């Protein structure tokens, strides 16, 4: 691996040209020469990095799909603060080793940083003074728990034998504190949070560096094989961007050079099968390091690993993992529903977001759409006040409870980022990635551009985008053409945009000679089948996976073990005649506006096909209702 010292000049210029917006930091030196000529090129200058807008700048419209979920998340974060703020801070004020309580306390220090990250992002988005004061006060309280040498909280004791879980998870809590403190600094400009984060980073490097070989103490861990420490590399790179402390970057380079799972992935391009939450965090750190050092070969391998995860380990709903693990077996639905841990879902979003930011590739925006519209929203209750630990594909949702609360602090981090994912910018080119009703003012090299998007998606395939630009603006609008659509057209001021407009997954529309533009986007949202495994399929409408929910099909048996229902290969939508023949006996459906679609399926109890009602997977299974998402294909059931 090339020495960090040989790259200092390149890194300096990358750092100077870095644009920092709300935790998304991107280099813009496309014309600069890499320190080492790469043998494999991850992206060219034409594919150069894009910038996500600040959380402050994109406002969701009440008519959009994300609005109610985002504002439900705002209420939930306030609830977490009101009921759990003392517990979050207590994890740094003392250590608890009561018999039977060890495992539920060793990672309690992760909650404060997670909450601070999500709450700060939502507070600056809403601009609510009470919310802003709440996060500022919490950050100040958290900072007070730092030791003089930089460690956050009470250190591990030295007067007794330590449990392996205590040792493995100790740095994990420091990592999460780094995340929250850096977000607070970036969005609130509070230098005290940066100083606290900086001392954490210095403590990590001093305690565990230098890393000289694969036997380094930093990699040791009986429970997680060092993953709970190695996850820190992404935040150390993030911290370097603000401090230019080269000890941090040197340390991260040493970790990447010597940690066996990373070396294995960078050599083979194949995923290291481990806890998907931790794996995505580590890979996200590798991407951030490769971006900063302009190591295109490393970035290409990280992309290859991402491709492998999508091909063999990603569920159609956009998340990973069975019982918090990855293996080399075929994906399958499981009756106990222990799939798609919410922590893994959100970290997959962050990993994919990093790859999109550095490459601008449309496939990453497409993947973000899939995960956000399915696994992420499915893990959150409709009102935003409950979360799943696992996000099952069938039968029932078990809303989060109990002492191990990681997911109900991770999930809000994902929802808090939704407004930022709608748009992106590169120079004077604006990207529209999601068809979500929203308004924003984006900073481009040609000046500020105000955008309003009125979308009917996902109900129908129509969105109207209006832009107001400076009088001398020369730029472009790139609107993502989803791979799932078969008919896609754009009208600019009432005239069709030529079909030769497509550039790397986007339709490119030049903007020049006016100050106002109106574009009408229309596309179909086809119904299709997607294979999960050899003989099991899901029904997909556009990016959304659909489920059968008993609230709409009270006469349908959705037992966990039985495959009474099979689906035809030529499935198609039908007119809904009635879905209330029988009354749902459970709680009142809180999602009265939930979309419903009728299709014909085969039922072993009937001789003829019968009609069932489908609903988006993200809305299925609420109010204790049974639901099911994966079905055998008619004629293929064993």
Confidence of residue 103 (pLDDT cuts 50, 70, 90): low
**Euclidean distance between CA atoms 284 and 288, whole angstroms:** 6
How large is the average pLDDT for residues 74-81? 96
The Cα–Cα gap between 556 and 394 comes to: 14
Q: How far is CA 446 from the centre of its chain?
A: 30
- Greatest Cα pair distance, the chain, in angstroms, is 77
What is the average pLDDT score of the chain? 88
Question: Where in the chain are all domains bearing CATH 1.50.10.10?
Answer: 4-57+66-421
Sign of the Cα torsion 220, 222, 224, 229 reads: negative
**Range among 81-85, 92-96, 221-225 with highest mean pLDDT value:** 81-85
Query: Does residue 560 or residue 430 have the better pLDDT?
Result: 430
Q: How confident is the model at residue 130 (pLDDT cuts 50, 70, 90)?
A: very high
Residue 22 has pLDDT above 80, yes or no: no
DSSP for 467-499, written as a single string: EE--TT-EEEEEEE--TT-S-EEEEETTEEPPG
Which pLDDT band holds residue 161 (cuts at 50, 70, 90)?
Answer: confident
Query: 3-state DSSP call for residue 613?
Result: strand
Find out whether 353 and 52 touch, Cβ atoms under 8 Å.
yes
For residue 154, what are its two tokens?
């009470």
DSSP 501: G
Tell me the two tokens of residue 122.
């939502």
pLDDT value for 165: 81
Residue whose tokens read 């399929």: 537
Q: What is the pLDDT of residues 580-624, one digit of tens each?
A: 555 666 666 665 678 999 999 998 888 889 999 999 999 998 878
**Could you tell me the pTM of the whole model?**
0.92
Check whether domain 4-57+66-421 has CATH 1.50.10.10, yes or no: yes
Buried b (16+ CB within 10 A) or exposed e, 199-219: bbbbbbbeebbebeeeebebb
Q: According to the model, what pLDDT value does residue 24 have?
A: 38
Question: Domain 425-523, what architecture?
Answer: Sandwich (2.60)
Q: How much is the pLDDT for 485?
A: 97
pLDDT, average across residues 509-536: 95
Q: 122-136, 498-512, 600-614: which has the highest mean pLDDT?
A: 122-136
User: Quick one: which of 60, 128, 179 has its CA closest to 418?
Assistant: 60
Residue range(s) occupied by CATH 2.60.420.10 in the chain? 425-523
Residue 72's pLDDT band (boundaries 50, 70, 90)?
very high
Provide the angle, in degrees to the nearest 10, between the axes of the packed helices 246-258 and 191-208.
50
Q: Which of 151-155, 267-271, 455-459, 587-591 has the lowest mean pLDDT?
A: 587-591
Distance CA 501, CA 517 (A): 17
pLDDT, tens digit (0-9, with 9 covering 90-100), for 187-198: 999 999 999 999
Predicted local distance difference test score (pLDDT) of residue 580: 58
pLDDT, position 577: 78
Q: Which long-range contacts (CB under 8 A, 24 or more apart) does 239-245 make?
A: 239/178, 239/182, 239/197, 239/198, 239/201, 240/292, 241/15, 241/18, 241/20, 241/25, 241/292, 242/20, 242/182, 242/185, 242/194, 242/198, 243/194, 243/198, 243/201, 244/15, 245/198, 245/201, 245/202
Give the Cβ contact number of residue 470 at 10 Å: 13
**Long-range Cβ contacts of 93-97 (<8 Å, 24+ apart):** 93/145, 93/153, 93/154, 94/154, 95/153, 95/154, 95/156, 95/157
For the cut 60, the answer to whether the pLDDT of residue 46 exceeds it is no
The residue with greater pLDDT, 349 or 610, is 349
Mean pLDDT over residues 232-261, rounded? Answer: 98
Eight-class DSSP state of 374? I
β pairing state of 627-628 and 544-549: antiparallel
Q: What is the pLDDT of residues 443-498, one digit of tens each?
A: 999 999 999 999 999 999 999 999 999 999 999 999 999 999 999 999 998 999 99
Provide the 3-class DSSP secondary structure of residue 49: coil
Sequence-distant (6+) residues with CB within 8 A of 595 are 458, 459, 615, 616, 619
Long-range contacts, stretch 442-449, CB < 8 angstroms, 24+ apart? 442/53, 442/57, 444/473, 444/475, 446/470, 446/472, 446/473, 446/474, 446/475, 447/472, 447/473, 449/473, 449/475
């Amino acid at each position: 691996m090339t020495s960090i010292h040989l790259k200092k000049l390149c890194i300096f210029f990358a750092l100077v040209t870095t644009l920092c917006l709300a935790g998304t930091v991107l280099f813009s030196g496309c014309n600069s020469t890499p320190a080492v000529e790469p043998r494999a090129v991850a992206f060219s200058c034409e594919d150069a990095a894009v910038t996500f807008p600040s959380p402050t700048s994109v406002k969701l419209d009440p008519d959009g799909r994300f609005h109610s979920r985002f504002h439900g998340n705002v209420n939930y974060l306030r609830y977490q603060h009101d009921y759990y703020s003392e517990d979050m801070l207590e994890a740094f004020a003392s250590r608890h080793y009561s018999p039977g309580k060890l495992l539920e306390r060793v990672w309690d220090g992760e909650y404060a940083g997670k909450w601070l990250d999500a709450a700060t992002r939502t507070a600056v988005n809403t601009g609510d003074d009470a919310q802003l004061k709440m996060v500022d006060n919490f950050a100040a309280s958290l900072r007070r728990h730092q030791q003089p040498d930089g460690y956050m909280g009470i250190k591990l004791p030295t007067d007794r034998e330590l449990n392996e879980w205590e040792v493995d998870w100790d740095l994990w809590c420091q990592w999460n504190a780094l995340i929250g403190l850096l977000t607070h600094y970036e969005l609130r400009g509070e230098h005290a949070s940066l100083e606290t984060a900086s001392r954490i980073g210095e403590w990590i490097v001093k305690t565990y560096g230098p890393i000289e070989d694969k036997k380094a103490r930093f990699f040791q861990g009986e429970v997680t094989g060092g993953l709970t420490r190695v996850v820190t590399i992404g935040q150390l790179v993030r911290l370097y961007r603000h401090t230019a402390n080269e000890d941090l970057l040197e340390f991260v380079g040493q970790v990447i050079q010597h940690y066996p799972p990373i070396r294995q992935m960078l050599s083979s391009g194949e995923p290291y099968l481990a806890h998907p939450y931790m794996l995505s965090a580590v890979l996200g750190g590798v991407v951030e390091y490769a971006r900063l050092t302009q190591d295109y070969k490393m970035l290409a391998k990280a992309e290859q690993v991402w491709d492998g995860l999508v091909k063999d380990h990603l569920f159609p709903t956009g998340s990973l993992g069975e019982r918090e693990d990855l293996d080399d077996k075929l994906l399958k639905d499981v009756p106990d529903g222990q799939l798609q841990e919410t922590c893994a879902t959100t970290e997959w979003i962050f990993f994919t977001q990093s790859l999109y930011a550095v490459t601008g590739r449309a496939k990453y925006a497409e993947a973000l759409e899939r995960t956000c519209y399915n696994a992420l929203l499915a893990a959150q209750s409709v009102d935003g006040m409950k979360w799943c630990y696992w996000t099952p594909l069938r039968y029932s949702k078990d809303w989060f409870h109990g002492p191990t609360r990681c997911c109900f602090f991770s999930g809000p981090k994902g929802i808090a980022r939704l407004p930022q994912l709608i748009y992106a910018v590169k120079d004077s080119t604006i990207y529209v990635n999601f068809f979500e009703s929203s308004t924003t003012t984006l900073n481009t090299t040609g000046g500020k551009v105000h955008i309003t998007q009125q979308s009917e998606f996902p109900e129908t395939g129509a969105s109207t985008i209006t832009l107001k630009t400076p009088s001398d603006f020369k730029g472009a609008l790139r609107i993502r053409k989803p791979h799932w659509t078969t008919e896609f057209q754009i009208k600019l001021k009432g005239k069709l945009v030529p079909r030769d407009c497509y550039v790397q997954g986007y339709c490119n529309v030049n903007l020049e000679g006016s100050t106002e533009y109106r574009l009408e986007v229309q596309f179909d949202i086809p119904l299709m089948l997607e294979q999960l495994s050899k003989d099991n399929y899901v029904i997909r409408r556009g990016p959304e996976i659909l489920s059968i929910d008993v609230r709409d099909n009270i006469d349908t048996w959705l037992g966990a073990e039985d495959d009474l229902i099979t689906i035809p290969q030529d499935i198609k939508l039908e007119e809904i005649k009635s879905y209330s023949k029988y009354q749902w006996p459970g709680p009142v459906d809180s999602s009265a506006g939930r979309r419903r679609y009728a299709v014909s399926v085969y039922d072993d109890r009937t001789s003829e096909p019968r009609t069932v009602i489908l609903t988006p997977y993200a809305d299925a299974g609420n109010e204790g209702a049974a639901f099911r998402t994966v079905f055998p294909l008619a004629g293929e059931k064993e």
